[in-house]
Amino acid sequence: MRATARLVARADRHGRTTLAELRGESPLLLRQVPGRDGGVTVYVVGGAAGPLAGDDLRLDVEVGPGAVLRVHTVAASIALPGHPGAVSRMLVRATVSEGATLHWLPEQLVAAAGCAHVADSQVDVAEGAILHWRDELICGRHHERPGDAEVNTWVDLDGRPLLRQCLAVGPNAPGWSGPAVLGGAPATGSLLVVDPTRLVEPPVVQQTVARLPLAGGPATLWTATAPDAHTLRALLEPDGGEVPTAPDRITNSAEGEGTEVVRVG
């Protein structure tokens, strides 16, 4: 299956965001819901199962100057096996103009057994724009080993590289569950925050989550691993549109012991 969708948000002369284009096709159906603070909220609705091996999907997002757009999905995406030897692909390309805001906060991608999936995100952020970009990957369904999944994220800020990140899991990614990568955790994700109005905080490394400022601009990257999707979301959930704040201590629920935060730098 091949499918494309396109979403374009513009700000009017009163500062209210409107959708200049909202176009999709199954399984990438787009639905607008009431927004807040003059912004627009759009949900991506899966109109079919998958992605299945052999699918080629693409979503283009454009946020014009001064516009505020929030994008969610109604449910997790489950990458499934399909045509033998085929790979499913999902490409998201986003452009965030000067003074614009994009919150990209979808539900998780689940790499089911036997899948072969590549998820690419390419984001161009203008100077003065705000971006919240979250990716979450669940390695297999309940009590299931994952198939092959590769998640690639490229973000440029003002035409310069800000983030280049790649994660591969599954039978063809040796060592993916070892201590150098996920340490046996079945859930992992990241939250990138680009915001020139916020003070960039120093690095913090906790037991399963790290906050790292990026050298290419006013940006912070959170990365985390977790035993399940619910715990992962708690680590990467913006609170009321704000980024998570690292506590001074975290508690290991299995042992009931406090774990000290290690501050780097």
pLDDT at 264 over 60: no
By residue count, the chain amounts to 265
pLDDT at 110 over 70: yes
What is the number of other CB atoms lying within 10 angstroms of the CB of residue 150?
20
Residue 2's DSSP bridge partners are 56
State the pLDDT at residue 239: 53
Helix locations, 70-158, DSSP H: none
Could you write out the DSSP letters of every residue in 214-254?
Answer: ETTTTEEEEEEEESSHHHHHHHH--BTTBPP---SEEEETT
Exposure of 225 by Cβ count < 10 A (0-12 exposed, 13-18 middle, 19+ buried)?
buried
* Euclidean distance between CA atoms 5 and 28, whole angstroms: 6
Exposure of 79 by Cβ count < 10 A (0-12 exposed, 13-18 middle, 19+ buried)?
buried
Token readout for 228 is: 């399940």
Chain mean position to CA 70 = 13
Q: How many domains does the chain have?
A: 1
Chain mean position to CA 139 = 15
pLDDT at 256 over 90: no
Which contiguous run of DSSP H or E holds residue 43? strand 40-46
First to last CA, the chain: 49
Exposure of 170 by Cβ count < 10 A (0-12 exposed, 13-18 middle, 19+ buried)?
buried
* Euclidean distance between CA atoms 80 and 162, whole angstroms: 31
pLDDT digits (tens, 9 = 90+) for 146-190: 999 999 999 999 999 999 999 999 999 999 999 989 999 999 999
State the pLDDT at residue 246: 39
State the pLDDT at residue 47: 77
State the Cα angle at 156 between 152 and 161, rounded to 5°: 90
State the pLDDT at residue 36: 73
pLDDT digits (tens, 9 = 90+) for 114-130: 999 999 999 999 999 99
Confidence of residue 207 (pLDDT cuts 50, 70, 90): confident
Q: Is the link from the previous residue into 65 a cis peptide, with omega within 30 of 0?
A: no
Of 165, 148, 173, 141, whose CA–CA distance to 222 is shortest?
Answer: 165
Confidence of residue 19 (pLDDT cuts 50, 70, 90): very high
Strands (E), 115-207: 116-125, 130-138, 148-157, 160-169, 187-194, 204-205
Percentage of the chain surpassing pLDDT 90? 72
pTM of the entire predicted model: 0.87
Residue ranges making up the domain that contains 232: 2-263
* Euclidean distance between CA atoms 213 and 35, whole angstroms: 30
* Euclidean distance between CA atoms 22 and 30, whole angstroms: 7
pLDDT digits (tens, 9 = 90+) for 130-151: 999 999 999 999 889 999 999 9
State the pLDDT at residue 238: 62
